[in-house]
Structure 1
Amino acid sequence: MNTALILVLALVLDAAMGEPRWLWQRLPHPAVLMGRLIGWADRRFNEGPARQAKGLITLLGLMAAAGLVGGLLSLFGAVVEIAVAAILLAQRSLVDHVAAVARGLRMSLQQGRRDVAMIVSRDTGAMDTSAVARSAIESAAENLSDGVVAPAFWFLVGGLPGMLVYKVVNTADSMIGYRTPRHEAFGWAAARMDDVLNWIPARLTAVLIALPAGLLGDWSAIRADARLHRSPNAGWPEAAMGRAIAVALAGPRAYDGVMQSFPWVNPQGKRVLTPADIDAAIARLWQAWGIMLALAVLAGLF
């Protein structure tokens, strides 16, 4: 069975099963294992002089280990590859988490805040309904790229080794790739490598969102909005999503008690948001997934 058809089955399995709680209550999830390893490396090597060099060597070691594990797992055949790839994809999990915010908001603003706090790092305690919905939609767009399109892309490029290398880099970036006194030097390599590995998938995600919305003709506007984002990649799916569901995204938000003024993405879109707008974003997630699945089928057949 070729790589594309293995990906097709993994995408379907992930969409159907998600992350079974009964399984991950008994076994550590691969992402958890990666996180433990990265946390150990951070505690062990992120000290003393030459932290940037130590961070680079650590990242290269993590990537080599991930590639080796992926290669070894591939030796067990297509069934193992399908299962592992499905575990490392996150379409169903993403949809479930974002849908929980919409359900929470329909119950109460407080519940919506609690649910969105599970998927974003910004301050949520003072959010109004629009801010909660906007945060969930932005997370949906960005995580479609990081959690679904990018791992699928790197699986097509390099099989399980490629997928695992991407996942360990992305996990490292989420843990140590911050411009803080502790991690600015040590996590520099992880942040830059994550930017490199997400460059194509982020733009591909924007295409997958824009295509079913009939927005490819607005690509120049999507590109202009994407460049407003502080990340070289995250702005692309966010810009496409904002236009696909006709809402304004980004804008001011607070981190660690400090309000930060970010520019609006799709500023002409509506700014008073409701749970229905989250529902619209979820529909776009499934449309993008469906197109990606169809492309993988075509790649597998031809």
Structure 2
Amino acid sequence: MILIAALILDAAFGEPRLIWDRLPHPAVLMGRLVGYCDRRFNHGQSLRLKGTLVTAGLLATGLALGWLIQSLPDYGVLEALAVAILIAQKSLVDHVRAVATALRRSVAEGRQAVAMIVGRDTTDMTGPDISRAAIESAAENLSDGVVAPVFWYLVLGLPGIVAYKLINTADSMIGHMTPRYIEFGWAAARLDDVLNLIPARLTALLIALTHGWVDPSPILRDAPKHRSPNAGWPESALAPVLNVALSGPRSYNGIRKDYPHVWPEGRRDPGPDDIDAAADALWRVWAALLAVAVLIAVF
């Protein structure tokens, strides 16, 4: 029942500014903790060892914090609120749809909107580039921000979802292949890959099934080609649903990367309507997760 309530609360309210303009969001607090560890330990020698110990400490902190909340008397309502806060369905949909809305006004506004949700260079993006980036972000974050938290909550309860979010936050901040983080962030990136191994593939399955599509061959063909061991799975499922070629060449920090396309036979000119269709797909997967939660509660 707690997961059902959490899914509905998040879908209804998302991240209300009335609250989070006044209080620090738990994701912000997690980011501050990771930032402190970065400043405190990411220097000197043995950076991979230090990063591994920091990652282990973050994992232990998440597990302990979740257990502490669960041990409180009458914790049910508090747990439902905590889970709802750590699931990012509505905020993800809102950010994705905001790109479609902005792009309909102008390419310049579309670039500004998509820059809020992707890490690649956006200055020279065309309309199709913006749409493709928004759709890819929708697919990847559906796995990281919705399916994976639900999965780890079902497996380990509140300790599982809190620990997962801490490691995922660490990966987003320090898990980069850059000179500063290639050693210190190695453990965070690898652990995040492991924690998302099953959820990413479940996301692909849920996207396919909720669209009446059961042919796994395009996913099995394209997902392994992706630069990420996990992000390619939801992208490879969503691309055929929309008939849009995803991934492909893009630029990071002024350096062009010629990545292969996912679903290369798809259209190369996606627009705002395709972004909206991707957002609709997110809600289909959310409905499937809610149905699973209801079945678990009943049986």
> What interval of TM-score do these two structures reach, taking the shorter chain for normalisation?
over 0.9
Matches within 5 A, 1:172-191: 172-191=170-189
1:259 aligns with one of 256, 259, 276: 256
In the comparison of the two structures, how many residue pairs are matched? 297
CA deviations 1:25-68 (Å, max 9, x no partner) are: 11101111111111110111111111111111111111111111
Is residue 2:23 matched to residue 1:27? yes
CA deviations 1:107-163 (Å, max 9, x no partner) are: 111111100000000011111100000000000000000000000000011111000
1:135 aligns with one of 133, 136, 155: 133
**Residue 188 of structure 1: how far off its partner (Å):** 0.5
Matched residue, 2:37: 41
Distance 1:127 1:243 in 2: 23
Matches within 5 A, 1:48-197: 48-76=44-72, 77-197=75-195
**Residue 220 of structure 1: how far off its partner (Å):** 2.1
- TM-score between both structures, scaled by the size of structure 2: 0.98
**For residue 43 of structure 2, what is the amino acid of its counterpart?**
E
**Residue 244 of structure 1: how far off its partner (Å):** 1.0
**For residue 102 of structure 2, what is the amino acid of its counterpart?**
G
**Residue 75 of structure 1: how far off its partner (Å):** 2.4
**Residue 284 of structure 1: how far off its partner (Å):** 0.6
1:18 aligns with one of 5, 14, 25: 14
Matches within 5 A, 1:193-272: 193-217=191-215, 219-272=216-269
Matched residue, 2:270: 273
Distance 2:55 2:257 in 1: 31
CA deviations 1:56-92 (Å, max 9, x no partner) are: 1111111111111111111231100000000000000
Distance 1:128 1:180 in 2: 27
SS of residue in 1 equivalent to 2:256: strand
- TM-score between both structures, scaled by the size of structure 1: 0.97
Identity of aligned residues (%): 59
CA deviations 1:192-249 (Å, max 9, x no partner) are: 00000000000000011111222222x1221211111111100000010101111110
Alignment RMSD? 0.7
Gaps of 5+ in 2: none
Is residue 2:276 matched to residue 1:295? no
**For residue 208 of structure 2, what is the amino acid of its counterpart?**
A
Distance 2:41 2:232 in 1: 32
Distance 2:64 2:25 in 1: 18
